[in-house]
Structures are given as C-alpha cells and as structure tokens.
C-alpha cells in the first residue's frame, strides 16, 4: 500500500512540478511510533501485540486519523494511510494534518475485556504524542465509539478532562450527532455529484458494496433512501444479492446480531469476492485496501466506483479504469465525510458546545460538495483523472502551508487554492 500511495503522490507531484527535495519533505512522516502491548488474557496468560502511530504531517493543523485493529496493521500500512489522511484533510480544507495507526491483532479472537485492556495499554504508551492540539485518533476498521470512549477516559486520567483527544466517541460521552453515519453520508454526497456529471439518477441505480460495516451499511441505507437498489453486498464471510434491491434496514439488523451478511434470508448467497465484478452501475468498495487489481479490473462492470475504503485500487487497476472510462471517485474525496464530522465533533468539544444534527449534516453537505467541485475543476483544468486532481489539490495546499512557514515564496502553488 505504501508503494501505491507514493505512486499516486508522484503522479500528482509531476503535475505540480514539485522538486525532488519538496517531494521528500512532503512524503517523509513527521514521526513514527511503534510500541509493545502486553496485556492480560482471559485465560490467565498474556497477550502480546504491536501498536503503531504514524504522524505524517502537521503543517495545516493537528494530525488526525483513525485507529485500525486488524492483522494487516504494520508500519508501512500505517504510513501509507497516514499520508492519505494528510491529503484528505487538505482536499476538504479542514485545519488538520494526517496520521494513522492501530494494533496488529485479530479482534475476532479477543473478548471485550481483552480489547479494553489492550486499548488502555496502547494509550498509555502513546499518550505523550497524542492530544487535542497534537494528534487526534478516530475509529477505523474494527474500532468503534466504545473504544474511542475508553481512549478518552485513559488519556483524561493522565491529563485531565480531554474530550478533544479523540473523535467518534459515544454520544453520551461528548461524541457528535451524525458522526456514526458521516463517512457513509459523505460517500453518498460524492456519488450524488458524480451522478449529475454522468447524467445518471438515483432511481433504480444498481449499487454493489464490498463491506457492510460502519461505512458500507450507512452509505447503503442512504443510497437506498435516495431510490437506489442495493443489488449485492459482500463481506469477510460471504455475500448476499437481490436484483430487486436488498432490504437494507433488515440487513443492518441482521449484521448487528450476526456480525456478517452471510445467512441473511432476504437474498441469494454468493462467494464474497464476486461482488467486485457484480453486474451493477456503481461499485462501492468499503472494506480493505488493494482489492481492485489488474487481475479483476477488466471484469468490473460498474461505470462509477466510489472508494469508501482507503486505498482499494492499485495503480494498474486505476489505469484500466481510466481506459475503460470508469469514473473513480478517489478515497481522499469519497470517504472524507468521516474526518469532516470528526472535525465538527472536535470543534464542539473544544468550544464545550453542542451542534444540532441539521447543522452538522448541512455543513457536511457543503464541505463535501465544495471539495467535489474543486476536484472536478482541477481535473478539467489539468486534463487529469479525479484521483490525480484530488492529490494535486491536497498536495498543493499542504505544500503552500509548509512553505508559508518558511521564507520561500508560495506563488508557484497559487492556482491550487
């Protein structure tokens, strides 16, 4: 994933005509932390895991990014995802830099008590480098509001009441209305603009999802409410399809109880991976990175791909989609709704004030719409695809902020806003 993120960076850096040293400064992480986590296991033994936090860039504000609990978590993955956060916060123009991290573990093998202990130990080891004005974690794959609440509590034990140290917290613990569904809502807003561009409409639109967790399920619910038919959903265990459209509220209820879509009786079962090449108009990868590759890209039937997941498309697949005239809405635009409402949550925390849901959804709509328009404009004026345009916009803004902190002129980046 690190190679891929550097490839996309360099493609945009070429458009910006960035010198070698500038590229080095913008890609090298500010700080990388790796910690050992030893905690009690339910069977009286110990668990041993490694935790990571990569802080990529803070030229535009405190660093921001999720925590992932997954066996794939390592320093390279965290570095790649942290850099994506830097460009993402710049694309939606919120006052943050980028970070990412997590714990290399398999949460399916851990009890809630074990997860709780591991989380608190991790916070104990990284507490000096996170904080409301320094680095603010948030939920990502296999982490949720409950875990964010534990993080706030553990950090506050050391530094006093600090709700702004983490976002995505429970509503009754200084979380924000609308945060839970924010990423899925942002994905839906980005698709709404793409549909207009492509002269397509929601009514009867056939959408397939890989992943039905926080992001996938909320995006599916909102798209179905807009008139789309969610024809197939695949997850880590299996898939379920219905050409008439799956009943999304019923599927959400089923997944809450069973932690998978497998076995849902409102459709036909299929092998999970097949969802990527499903006969549909729109494909929403909302699970892991690196799933759309040169092996399957030619078989993708969708006309629009909305990257709800981080890094789902390899450069070779991206090239194939470009040739096939498939519109790819890149992750750093499509899934930026989560970090945007995290920003609103943090703003409420430091103001000690609560915003109404309508205000949050309205501001989110405006933020994603503005970002979409800016990316579309940059794509047109530079004659590049949407991903390159989003990187150009994000990198240009970060480069300007970095240079504005020095005596070097920023004028060469003026056209990138």
- The stretch among 89-97, 206-214, 317-325, 394-402 that binds ligand NAD (CB under 6 A) is 206-214
Please state whether beta strands 63-69 and 98-103 pair in parallel, antiparallel, or not at all (unpaired).
parallel
Rule CB under 6 A: choose which of 55, 104, 142, 313 binds ligand NAD: 142
Catalytic position from the list 64, 88, 100, 221 = 100
169 is catalytic: no
Residue 5 found at the interface with ligand NAD (CB under 6 A): no
* Alpha-carbon gap, residue 350 to 336, rounded angstroms: 21
Of residues 332-351, those binding ligand NAD (CB under 6 A): 335, 338
Q: Whole-angstrom distance between the N-terminal and C-terminal Cα of the chain?
A: 28
Residue 211 found at the interface with ligand NAD (CB under 6 A): yes
What number of CA atoms fall less than 13 Å from residue 31's CA on the CB side? 13
Of residues 215-254, those binding ligand NAD (CB under 6 A): 215-216, 234-236
Spell out where 110-227 has E strands.
Answer: 135-139, 206-210
Q: 63-97 burial by CB neighbour count: b if 16+ within 10 A, else e?
A: bbbbbbbbeebbbebbbbbbbbbbbbbbbbbbebb
Four-CA torsion 234, 270, 243, 208, nearest 10 degrees: 20
Q: How far is the CB of 333 from ligand NAD (least distance, A)?
A: 11
Residue with smaller CB distance to ligand NAD, 18 or 332: 332
Residue 214 found at the interface with ligand NAD (CB under 6 A): yes
Of residues 249-308, those binding ligand NAD (CB under 6 A): 272, 286-288, 308
Q: How far is the CB of 210 from ligand NAD (least distance, A)?
A: 5
Residue 388 found at the interface with ligand NAD (CB under 6 A): no
Residue with smaller CB distance to ligand NAD, 57 or 180: 180
Residue among 46, 132, 159, 57 at smallest CA distance from 399: 57
* Alpha-carbon gap, residue 101 to 123, rounded angstroms: 12
Rule CB under 6 A: choose which of 93, 104, 167, 310 binds ligand NAD: 310
Q: How far is the CB of 286 from ligand NAD (least distance, A)?
A: 5
Q: How far is the CB of 41 from ligand NAD (least distance, A)?
A: 23
Distance of alpha carbon 118 from the chain centroid: 23
Rule CB under 6 A: choose which of 98, 101, 139, 267 binds ligand NAD: 139
* Alpha-carbon gap, residue 133 to 63, rounded angstroms: 8
Joined together, the tokens standing for residue 370 give: 């503005």
Residue 58 found at the interface with ligand NAD (CB under 6 A): no
Contacts of 108 (CB under 8 A, 6+ apart): none
111 φ/ψ angles, rounded to the nearest 5 degrees: -80, 170
* Alpha-carbon gap, residue 400 to 408, rounded angstroms: 10
Q: Which residue has the CB atom at the shortest distance from ligand NAD?
A: 213
Q: How far is the CB of 118 from ligand NAD (least distance, A)?
A: 16
Residue with smaller CB distance to ligand NAD, 286 or 393: 286
Q: How far is the CB of 401 from ligand NAD (least distance, A)?
A: 22
Q: How far is the CB of 25 from ligand NAD (least distance, A)?
A: 26
Residue with smaller CB distance to ligand NAD, 375 or 384: 375
* Alpha-carbon gap, residue 100 to 56, rounded angstroms: 8
Q: DSSP string of 37-56?
A: EEEE-TTSSEEEEEEEEEEE
Residue with smaller CB distance to ligand NAD, 18 or 67: 67
Residues recognised as catalytic:
100
What is the binding site for ligand NAD (CB under 6 A)? Answer: 139-142, 183, 210-216, 234-236, 272, 286-288, 308-310, 335, 338
């Amino acid at each position: 994933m690190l190679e891929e993120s550097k490839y996309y960076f360099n493609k945009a850096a070429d458009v910006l005509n960035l010198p070698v040293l500038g590229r080095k400064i913008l890609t090298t992480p500010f700080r990388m932390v790796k910690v050992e986590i030893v905690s009690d296991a339910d069977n009286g033994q110990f668990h041993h895991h490694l935790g990571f936090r990569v802080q990529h860039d803070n030229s535009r504000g405190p660093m921001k990014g999720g925590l992932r609990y997954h066996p794939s978590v390592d320093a390279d993955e965290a570095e790649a995802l942290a850099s994506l956060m830097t460009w993402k916060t710049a694309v939606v123009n919120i006052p943050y830099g980028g970070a990412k991290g997590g714990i290399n573990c398999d949460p399916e093998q851990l009890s809630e008590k074990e997860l709780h202990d591991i989380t608190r130990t991790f916070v104990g080891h990284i507490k000096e480098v996170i904080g409301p004005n320094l680095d603010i974690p948030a939920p990502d794959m296999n982490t949720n509001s409950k875990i964010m609440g534990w993080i706030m509590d553990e950090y506050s034990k050391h530094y006093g009441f600090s709700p702004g140290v983490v976002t995505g917290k429970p509503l009754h613990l200084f979380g924000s209305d609308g945060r839970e569904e924010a990423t899925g809502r942002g994905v839906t807003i980005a698709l709404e603009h793409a549909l207009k561009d492509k002269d397509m409409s929601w009514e009867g639109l056939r959408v397939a999802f890989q992943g039905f967790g926080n992001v996938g399920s909320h995006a599916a619910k909102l798209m179905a409410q807009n008139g789309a038919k969610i024809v197939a959903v695949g997850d880590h265990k299996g898939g379920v399809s219905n050409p008439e459209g799956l009943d999304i509220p019923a599927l959400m209820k089923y997944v809450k109880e069973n932690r998978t879509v497998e076995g849902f009786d409102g459709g036909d079962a299929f092998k999970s991976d097949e969802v990527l090449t499903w006969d549909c108009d729109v494909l929403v990868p909302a699970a892991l990175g690196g799933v759309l590759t040169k092996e399957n890209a030619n078989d993708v039937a969708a006309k629009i791909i909305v990257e709800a997941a981080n890094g789902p498309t390899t450069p070779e697949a991206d090239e194939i989609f470009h040739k096939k005239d498939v519109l790819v809405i890149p992750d750093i635009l499509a899934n930026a709704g989560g970090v945007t409402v995290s920003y609103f949550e943090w703003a409420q925390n430091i103001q000690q004030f609560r915003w109404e849901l309508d205000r949050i959804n309205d501001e989110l709509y405006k933020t994603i719409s503005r970002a979409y328009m800016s990316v579309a404009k940059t794509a047109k004026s530079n004659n590049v695809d949407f991903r390159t345009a989003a990187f150009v916009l994000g990198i240009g803004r970060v480069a300007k902020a970095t240079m504005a902190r020095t005596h070097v002129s920023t004028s060469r980046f003026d056209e990138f806003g």
